[in-house]
Amino acid sequence: MANNEDLLKKIIAHAKEYGFVFQSSEIYDGLSAVYDYAQNGSELKKNIRDYWWKAMVQMHENIVGIDSAIFMHPTVWKASGHVDAFNDPMIDNKDSKKRYRADVLVEDHIAKIESKINKEVAKAAKRFGESFDEKQFKETNPRVLANIKKIEDIKNRLYPAMDANDMESIKTLIEDIGIVCPISGSKNWTEVRQFNLMFSTQMGSTAEGASEIFLRPETAQGIFVNYLNVQKTGRMKIPFGIAQTGKAFRNEIVARQFIFRMREFEQMEMQFFVRPGEEMKWYEYWKDQRMKWHQSLGIPAGKFRFHDHDKLAHYANAAADIEFEFPMGFKELEGIHSRTDFDLAAHEKYSGKKLRYHDPELNQSYVPYVVETSIGLDRMFLAILSNAYTEETFEDGNSRVVMKIPPVLAPYKVAIFPLTKKDGLPEKAREIMNDLKHDHMCFYEEKDAIGKRYRRHDAIGTPYCVTIDHQTLEDNTVTIRERDSMNQERIAIESISGVVNERLKNI
């Protein structure tokens, strides 16, 4: 089995070779951390978005969807705190000229110490065998204790410095713990500076009359500023939700790991408006619902875990991430945040407009509290690709790469192959295609041997291949081959749609 770094490389290469993801502007050597979705990728992405929308909007009578503009009034971002606080601390190494996020450098250093502890524990577990008590070992082993203390000391310096915007202390911390640049190996660092992640541009035709506006760094604010319009025109009663999917932009200091961290990406967000005081109940509800949604796709439960935040953003009173085991380890895929009334109250203040809800049951007006679920569509795409990528070798020495994409998300549901290009088989195959394509994305292919065509569709994750042969002309039956098991069955043409539909229901 390939190691994890290799696996990510293989997925990137596969995504390019089979038309899922291309680097943006590749003929000009690409644009850093920007990617384009190709013919198969855009289908997969659309299917993930639809699957989310269906679960959130179609299946909840009290959730509606909107599609707000990317450009918003600049004061929105003042009110939301993004102008003043959507910053990451950056630092450059003077020798390698590489730029880093200062907090990430420190966190990577902590991770190294953690892995030392884990190695120590693993060694001891081997030595002591069954009688090993990990808790006791960690509480008593001097080397482990010293490393735990080191981590605590670092955290106790990093987080307060981050909260206080104290860049100097972060620099001193980096120097004190002796972090070296992974490229140059030197400790020749610049000062740490705050860097705002919002992209800005000018709106208006003349420079003097122009005003600075931002490309939205999250879709959530488009929901907040429309809260009252939607509540009134939709006659929504609390608790209710507003969902939206769309592009967001962040000028990430270090963007890497393929589509995991990009400068232009897509979010799928839902803001759920609740009575103040009931937010924790809904926070737990949405944590549970969202985890179930992930697992409904048939991905093993062990690939997901919750990470509860100890350090909360200024607007939150509870927050958790759903992490997925990507090839580069467990990383954030989705956030569930209890945002209190922070955003609506701030927009009330800055706009001077009341954003209240009159609760007929309590006969009271209040600013609702909000529980948000926020997932990156591109990260979900990478999670699906990473889980789907499978290399198989058979007893006869042949091998294949098969993308075990959940059928409901697969770019194509059925591939249709005439066995040969003659004897009326293509015409018959076209007839079947023309009928099936009303219900499913179908792919018609007559080039190359059947085995090659199967492999091509394994590689893009098509759950079914249907072959039309001479017998089809006689008795209207076809061979249908299932992607994962490679089982082949002879069935009537009229049954194809039923077989496919059944598979789409049972993941």
Q: Are 44 and 409 in contact (CB under 8 A)?
A: yes
- Which of these ranges, 101-109, 154-162, 174-182, 260-268, lies near ligand ATP under the rule CB under 6 A? 260-268
DSSP conformational letter for 367? P
Contact code string over 187-206 relative to ligand ATP, x by CB under 6 A: --------------------
Amino acid identity of residue 111, one-letter, is A
Q: Which is nearer to ligand ATP, 218 or 279 (CB)?
A: 218
Among 181, 262, 388, 405, binds ligand ATP (CB under 6 A): 262
Amino acid identity of residue 80, one-letter, is S
The count of chain residues that interact with ligand ATP, using the rule CB under 6 A, is 16
258: left (phi over 0), alpha (psi -120 to 50) or beta: left
Q: Which two tokens stand for residue 277?
A: 């005081």
Q: Which is nearer to ligand ATP, 325 or 378 (CB)?
A: 378
> Which residues within the stretch 332-351 sit at the binding site for ligand ATP (CB under 6 A)?
332-335
CB of 328 to ligand ATP, least distance (A): 12
CB of 501 to ligand ATP, least distance (A): 31
- Asked if 270 is part of the footprint of ligand ATP (rule: CB under 6 A), the reply reads no
Among 267, 340, 462, 472, binds ligand ATP (CB under 6 A): 267
Among 101, 157, 379, 457, binds ligand ATP (CB under 6 A): 379
Q: What is the rounded distance in angstroms from the CA atom of residue 195 to the CA atom of residue 320?
A: 25
Q: Which is nearer to ligand ATP, 109 or 263 (CB)?
A: 263
Q: What is the rounded distance in angstroms from the CA atom of residue 218 to the CA atom of residue 53?
A: 18
- Asked if 250 is part of the footprint of ligand ATP (rule: CB under 6 A), the reply reads yes
CB of 332 to ligand ATP, least distance (A): 5
Strand partners, 348: none
Q: Residue 274, class by beta-carbon neighbours within 10 Å (0-12 exposed, 13-18 middle, 19+ buried)?
A: buried
Among 90, 179, 375, 425, binds ligand ATP (CB under 6 A): 375
CB of 262 to ligand ATP, least distance (A): 4
**C-alpha angle 237-240-241 in degrees, rounded to nearest 5:** 145
Query: What contacts 50, CB < 8 A, 6 or more positions away?
Result: none
DSSP string, 113-147: HHHHHHHHHHHHHHHHGGG--HHHHHHH-HHHHHH
- Which of these ranges, 34-42, 119-127, 135-143, 262-270, lies near ligand ATP under the rule CB under 6 A? 262-270
DSSP conformational letter for 325? E
Among 43, 343, 378, 458, binds ligand ATP (CB under 6 A): 378
Q: Measured at CB, which residue is nearest to ligand ATP? A: 376
Antiparallel, parallel or unpaired: β 264-274 and 369-376 = antiparallel
- Asked if 376 is part of the footprint of ligand ATP (rule: CB under 6 A), the reply reads yes
- Asked if 252 is part of the footprint of ligand ATP (rule: CB under 6 A), the reply reads yes
Among 35, 265, 286, 326, binds ligand ATP (CB under 6 A): 265
Strand positions, DSSP E, 170-291: 193-196, 200-203, 211-214, 240-249, 264-274
User: Measured between alpha carbons, how far apart are the two ends of the chain, in Å?
Assistant: 26
Q: Residue 97, class by beta-carbon neighbours within 10 Å (0-12 exposed, 13-18 middle, 19+ buried)?
A: exposed
- Asked if 88 is part of the footprint of ligand ATP (rule: CB under 6 A), the reply reads no
Binding site for ligand ATP (CB under 6 A): 218, 250, 252, 261-262, 265, 267, 332-335, 374-376, 378-379
